[in-house]
Amino acid sequence: MKGIGAISKADAISYGCTGPTARASGVSCDIRKLYPYEVYGDVTFDEVLETSGDCFGRYLVRLKEMRQSLSIVEQLIDNIPEGEFQAKTKAVLKLPKGEFYSRIETARGEFGVYIVSEGGMTPYRIKFRSPGFSNLSALDHMARGHKIGDLVAIMGSLDLVIPDIDR
């Protein structure tokens, strides 16, 4: 895995890579750190960065991020409110008129949602940006000069979910 499917920091940014794929190339892009949402501003965790940009670097980022996730859970576990979750959420949401974009950090990278609403309960337009699509766009670049068998490691380290890419 070392030296296989490497992508530089500049190329990862150019291809729009996010999540562990970008952080393995040294790109600081963790939405939870850069633009804290929900309770992420109240917890302490490290953004995991590697610099090799290869399959092994992506593996190390994911491994270290699991440890960071455990740390986050340990900090929050005692503050979970009691009661049923469904009782605390609205069954129907009325969308305000206008455009809305929000993003969150998923295990695979940045997930964005773009909504255009005319003020009803059904949006006029909704678009999802999954991290797999932009990460997959760099596959040709990562695979150049490697053997066909290396594609297994490269694609595995991208952690692709093909139906997610087809949005």
Residue position matching structure tokens 């990460």? 135
pLDDT of residue 2: 95
**Cβ atoms of 55 and 17 closer than 8 Å:** no
What is the per-residue pLDDT for 10? 97
Cβ-contact 114, 126 below 8 angstroms: yes
Cα 113 from chain centre: 13
Average pLDDT over residues 42-61: 96
Please report the pLDDT score of residue 87 as a whole number.
61
- CA nearest to 76, candidates 46, 42, 48, 33: 42
23-50: average pLDDT: 95
pLDDT score at 148: 93
| 147-160 mean pLDDT | 92
pLDDT at 88 over 70: no
Average pLDDT of span 14-24:
95
pLDDT category at 55 given cuts 50, 70, 90 is: very high
**Given a cut of 90, is residue 50 above it in pLDDT?**
yes
User: What is the average pLDDT value for the chain, to the nearest integer?
Assistant: 91
Q: Per-residue pLDDT averaged across 91-117, rounded?
A: 89
111 DSSP β-pair partners: 104
Share of the chain above pLDDT 70, in %: 95
| Between residues 167 and 41, the one the model is more confident about | 41
* Stated pTM of the model: 0.84
Token pair in block for residue 118: 């005319």
Domains, the chain, with CATH or none: 9-165 (1.10.645.10)
pLDDT at residue 103 above 80? yes
pLDDT of residue 86: 60
Beta strand 98-106 with 109-117 is: antiparallel
